Structure 1
Amino acid sequence: MAQTEAPTGPTYKATIEEVGPCKKRLVIEVPEQAIQAALDEQYKTFRQEVILPGFRRGRAPRRLLEKRLGKEAQEQVKLRLIAQTSDAAIKDNKLAILNEPQVDVDSVQLPVKGPMTYQFEVEVWPEFELPPLEGIPVSKTVRQATEEQVDAELERLRRIRGVWMPRPEAEPSQLDDLLIADVQVKVEGTEQPEHLENIEVHIRPQGTVAQVPVPNLDEYLVGLKPGQSVDISVDVPKTYFKQEYRGKKVQVHLDAKEIKYLRPADVDKAFLDRFGAQSVEELRQMLKEAVQSELERQTRQEMEDQIYQYLLDKTNFDLPLDLVADQAASALQRIYVRLLSQGLSPQEIEGHMEALRASSEEQAKRQVKTFFVIDKVCEKLGIEVSDEEVNGLVAQIAWRRGQRPERLKEQMARDGTLGQFRLEVRQAKCIDKLLEMAKVTEVAPKQKGNKKKGQRQGQSASDKAQ
């Protein structure tokens, strides 16, 4: 316990306790002498500002001011002392806080005699040491586009521009079908379920039903026919983005009404015109170039992922669950901005966001940990982002989306994504710098059949070709 006096504030004593990872409790004691000094100053202000019957301004006696304005004086002094001493305690103890202190002022009493005591909790930035940043080992995979990859891209384009067709009623649903259903959602602790009609549900291994994340969703829905029902029980992770579902058991009842399958588009003249190609051969050449560009982007992403993994493996600190949950929404916004910067429309991004919303608690923890580690690396390397850099990148995004840069920037400022965008730019500069400093070794691609690990969600090769 240390007694501290701020240069321009009242004397106080502060006791700091560790109450959890990244969380501290501050117990503040303001001595009687500081309280009386503050009251004297408050009544001096009242005497100069308040006119009481029978007395000239500045001549009213203290006892009369206490009788008329005592409660107001005590309340103002209490609030001022709490504000001054809580701020001073944070600054004097050099606490890097994540949230502003929340004091239950109604429970704090300003005593007639003796000290005033109150307490509050704050979350603070985690403390940890960074590993060596020079010469991080990184493998660079050298890849070349193949005809099989071009075939896959062409088929993907056909599916994107395909048409959803109703399945015959006798046919059961299959993987990747679209299910139209009425849904009831019953959240633990609520009395009545929420009724939703004609909800679209994509049958995927990992997906959502009415924003409820359902692991192995395809196991419940594949084989379903119109008129059939299914009940699903889900234990929602404690860090899920939707607060009303977070950490609760949710019961989902689904009544299938219609099942649709995707019929891929024909490669006809209209299809070729969409990409500015005169023939199938020309389109395939365009796609091959786009695939090669995507492979190079993938290689770059894998190199970046190795940097991230190195930093995460070499740092160790705890994150409280509430911090992870609070930061999950910000992580979603950063991913949204990244996809916007890659030129995707909000409608295209929604498909990626659904997968992100259904992600595990471990992924959310990883995202939050990455944020803190990258911030510390940026601080150590002196990496900052200027307004000119932000304006230039916003202009590029606006050009790809056919918008005016100033209008897009105003929109991002209104919806809160501009600050997140700046963080994304800073993070990208940080990884660029670490790759410049890395020890890079070229390697051959892995054998076909190995999944691409850690690939960033974004545009496909053919999206970039359009």
Structure 2
Amino acid sequence: MKSTVEHLSPTRVRINVEVPFDELKPDFDRAYKKIAQQVRIPGFRPGKAPARILEARIGRAPVLDEVVNNAIPTKYQEAIVTSEDVKPIGRPDIEVTEIADGERITFTAEVDIRPEFELPELEGLTVEVDETEVDEEQVTEQLDQLRARFGTLTGVERPAQTGDFVQIDLSASVDGKTIEEATTTGFSYEVGQGGLIDGIDEALEGMSAEEEKTFTSKLVAGEYADRDAEITVKVTAVKERHLPDADDEFAQLASEFDTLEELQENLRERLGQSKRMEQATQARDRLLDKIVEGTEVPLPESVVQGEIDNRLHDAVHAFDHDEERFAEFLASQDKTREQFDAESREEAETAVRYRLVLDALADREEISVNDQELTERILYQAQQYGMAPEQFVQQIQQAGQIPAIYQDVRRSKALIDAVRAVSVTLPNGDPVDLSDLLGSDDDEDEDASVVEGTVESVEDSAEPAGDDTPDTAGEKADVKS
């Protein structure tokens, strides 16, 4: 087999492949066997008719079609493997250019590739992160949240105010029609908590038991999502929360500590550790921003378009793919479709650019991923989705997503290695040592809480169509002859 590569642009190539017929004998054998199973020929059992009899009955063309359609993806993959400087992204556009029966088959494959670009050297780079100082207000806030978990609710004969718990009945209607899924009774809600229905807190403020009020709000889900609805709320009880005293007795009740001072010190340490984790997150995200800002990255258009398509699909899916409802939603946000499309393209280009930079980092540092690291990421994601690991693995296998997860882990490791290689400082210039969180260069057991989510922090969870995962060279393509 002969193959040559033409670079059409920094992000796209055309691969010209010529396959001699003597390399296609196994493909012809498979084609004859398959066709023989499908064609009934008198005097022969299914699958036993000789090749010459089959061709005499059905002609040569169906055999050639079967050979071409099955052999070309394999030959394309072989051409990719032998072209070491070509790293394809996504599906190729394949066109058969010649079938010289008995001599050769030639075809071309145009495909987007990972572009080549220069990354800045990490040595000498500095990344600034925030201070980790914990103030007493934060400790008090944490303590109050803990006290709230052990608080008691007492009914009161007064109007509700922020922080009270109310028991309410809710109903909603659109154009006079009651929305069953938006109706509930005996619901307990903390006034001022938010996240239930826009306008509910303002309505509840000042209401007493057995009072009822109606207000207008947009529904956020269901058949009438983003439609104005008349919301009726009735308060059946108002309760005030009483917190236990912050003393040694409470510390013994709520924790393993004997004194309030010990509990507060523990909360202070936990806050400090949380801020240290925030420093590690800032370091990796700000370093990646700095690398991307200093790098010219040509963007493969098909990958960008795939990312745009995914974003549009996700957006319209929330409206059951009803374009009119989606347009109404955009109008309610004072946004045109043109603005949405422009924002989607900008976000897609950013996501693809960051992925390409991470992949280049991983290549330069020769990052690999072992089975344990891949398994740990799969288990982590299964937990994030609230799924049993076996069920999650089955789904990602069926969807062909394991290579994408592999690539995510590789990108995460590359970025963690990059953070280790640069200087991390506070705003005043003092150095910050993150080795206890990131591990050393020789430590393969990076802290999972830092590694997990590295890629997600710089891009949306949706993978672009045809992401450059290790198996893209083997993807099936539409063959045009």
Give the alignment's TM-score, normalised by structure 1.
0.53
1-structure distance, mates of 2:173, 2:107: 46
Contact 2:94/2:108, CA 8 A, preserved across alignment: yes
1:197 to 182, 186, 209: 182
Q: Closer, same or farther in 2 for the Cα pair 1:165/1:145, shift >3 Å? A: same
Q: Which residue of 1 aligns with 2:289?
A: 309
**In the TM superposition, what are the counterparts of 1:201-212 in structure 2 within 5 Å?**
none
C-alpha distance in 2, partners of 1:387/1:103?
A: 34
Other-structure match for 2:210? none
For 2:173 and 2:80, the matched residues in 1 are separated by 48
Where 1:131 maps in the other structure, the secondary structure is: coil
Question: Is the CA contact (8 Å cut-off) linking 1:27 and 1:120 kept in structure 2?
Answer: yes
Q: Quick one: which amino acid aligns to residue 147 of structure 1? A: E
- Counterpart residue number, 1:369: 353
The 1:40/1:280 distance shift into structure 2, 3 A limit, reads closer
Quick one: distance in 1 between partners of 2:261 and 2:124? 45
Q: C-alpha separation between the residues in 2 aligned to 1:393 and 1:40?
A: 39
* 2:271 corresponds to 1:287: no
Q: Which runs of 5+ in 2 are unaligned?
A: 205-212, 315-342, 430-449, 453-481
Between the aligned partners of 1:126 and 1:296, the Cα distance in structure 2 is: 36
- Mark the CA change 1:14 to 1:420 in structure 2 (over 3 Å): closer, same or farther: closer
Q: 1:324 to 1:140 in 2, by over 3 A?
A: same
Mapping of residues 52-201 of structure 1, within 5 Å: 53=42, 62=52, 65-68=55-58, 72-84=62-74, 86-87=76-77, 90-91=80-81, 95-101=86-92, 122-158=111-147, 196-198=181-183
| Distance of aligned partners of 1:122 and 1:328 in 2 relative to their CA distance in 1, 3 Å threshold | farther
SS at match of 1:143: coil
1:392-403 equivalences under 5 Å are: none
Q: Do the aligned residues in 1 keep the contact of 2:220 with 2:226 (CA within 8 Å)?
A: yes
What is the RMSD of the two structures over their aligned residues, measured on CA atoms? 6.4
Check conservation: 1:47, 1:65, Cα contact below 8 A: no
Alpha-carbon deviation of 1:377? 0.8
Preserved CA contact (<8 Å) 1:143 1:444: no
Counterpart residue type for residue 145 of structure 1:
V
Measure, in 1, the Cα distance between the counterparts of 2:232 and 2:99: 65
In structure 2, the partner of 1:378 is 362
Specify the SS of the correspondent of 1:138.
strand
1:11-57 Cα shifts (integer Å, max 9, x gaps)? xx988766xx95x58698989x969x889956995699799557999
CA contact (8 A) 1:14 1:89 kept: no
Distance in 1 of aligned mates of 2:27 and 2:278: 69
Does the 8 Å CA contact 2:139/2:264 hold for their aligned counterparts?
yes
Alignment check: 8 A CA contact 1:133 1:434 kept = yes
In the alignment, the residues of structure 2 paired with residue 254 and residue 288 of structure 1 have an alpha-carbon distance, to the nearest angstrom, of 46
The one-letter amino acid paired with 1:439 is: S
For residue 215 of structure 2, what is the amino acid of its counterpart?
Q
- Once the two structures are superposed, what CA deviation does each residue of 1:70-128 show, in whole Å capped at 9, x if it has no partner? 564244134235434544565566542333447799xx99899xx99988775543443
TM-score (norm 2): 0.51
Q: Paired residues, what number?
A: 363
Structure 1 residue 314, shift from structure 2 partner? 1.4
Distance 1:208 1:195, change over 3 A: farther
Measured against aligned partners, the alpha-carbon deviations of 1:144-194 in whole angstroms (never above 9, x if no partner) come to 3221121122234456777999999997999xx999977899xxxxxxxx9
Aligned ranges 1:324-343 → 2 under 5 Å: 326=310
The answer to whether the aligner puts 1:267 opposite 2:267 as a matched pair is no
Gaps of 5+ in 1: 7-12, 186-193, 210-216, 235-249, 331-359, 402-406, 446-455, 459-466
Indicate the residue corresponding to 1:433 in structure 2.
417
* 8 Å Cα contact 2:216-2:228 kept in structure 1: yes
Q: Alignment partner of 2:227: what SS? A: strand
Match of 1:300 in 2: 280
Identity %: 17
1:194-273 equivalent positions in 2, closer than 5 A: 196-198=181-183, 223=202, 227-231=214-218, 251-258=226-233, 266-267=243-244, 273=253
Which residue in the other structure is 1:453 paired with? none
Q: Deviations over 1:371-405 (max 9, x none)?
A: 3222211221122233355668999x89x99xxxx
- Contact 2:32/2:51, CA 8 A, preserved across alignment: no
